[in-house]
């Protein structure tokens, strides 16, 4: 069994095959959907972090920032800290889902899987797999940023930019999938975000 650490960058994606879908829940109300949209608000904060990292890369390319600036941006990004500390993208923000759980992996997903149907369980399983891809890309981006700390050369910069672009693509796709598939379920099953 190969690990993601040996997977080529281009293959670290979440859009492989067909993602399972969650059919509409007939009892879902607008209030339920509104509760589910709170997840999207948390995701926007993380996407802002991703955008800031992209700006630093642009500044390095223009000669206006250093590799150290990139390393600082990556390691201080909220989503990166959450993955390191809690093992998931939502980290601290997901603590409110359950007073004694602190991450999607241990709170949101098990609650939804336990209360939901087979379709919801399939979506949750897929989201867990996608978290592993995001984690691997964050590890690679941190590594690439560290390589630029002491010398910004074309090859190292191109590697950092390629990893960043892959991470950006994966995170946008993952967040969109998670938001659309869980929007109703979060409210219907009263799983707070």
**Burial class (CB within 10 angstroms; exposed 0-12, middle 13-18, buried 19+) of 151:** exposed
Share of the chain above pLDDT 70, in %: 83
The C-alpha angle 131, 52, 133, rounded to 5 degrees, equals 15
Lowest mean pLDDT among 6-15, 67-76, 111-120, 142-151: 111-120
> How would residue 18 be classed by pLDDT, with cut points 50, 70 and 90?
confident
Q: Which two tokens stand for residue 81?
A: 């800290």
For position 20, what pLDDT does the model report?
Answer: 96
For position 45, what pLDDT does the model report?
Answer: 82
Residues 6+ apart with CB under 8 A from 55: none
pLDDT at residue 96 greater than cutoff 70? no
Instruction: Bin 129: left if φ > 0, else alpha if -120 < ψ < 50, else beta.
Output: alpha
Give the pTM. 0.84
pLDDT at residue 173 greater than cutoff 90? yes
For position 15, what pLDDT does the model report?
Answer: 81
């Amino acid at each position: 069994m190969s690990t993601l650490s040996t997977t080529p960058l281009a293959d670290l994606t979440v859009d492989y095959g067909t993602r399972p879908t969650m059919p509409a829940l007939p009892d879902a109300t607008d209030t339920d959907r509104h509760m589910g949209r709170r997840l999207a608000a948390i995701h926007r904060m993380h996407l802002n972090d991703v955008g800031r990292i992209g700006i630093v890369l642009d500044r390095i390319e223009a000669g206006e920032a250093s590799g150290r600036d990139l390393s600082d941006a990556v390691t201080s990004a909220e989503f990166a800290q959450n993955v390191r500390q809690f093992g998931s993208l939502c980290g601290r923000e997901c603590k409110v889902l359950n007073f004694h759980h602190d991450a999607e992996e241990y709170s949101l997903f098990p609650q939804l899987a336990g209360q939901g149907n087979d379709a919801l369980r399939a979506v949750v399983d897929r989201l867990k797999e996608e978290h592993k891809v995001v984690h691997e890309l964050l590890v690679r981006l941190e590594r690439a940023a560290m390589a630029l700390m002491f010398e910004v050369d074309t090859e190292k910069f191109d590697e950092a930019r390629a990893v960043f672009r892959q991470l950006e693509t994966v995170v946008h796709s993952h967040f969109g999938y998670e938001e659309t598939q869980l929007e109703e379920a979060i409210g219907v099953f009263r799983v707070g975000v």
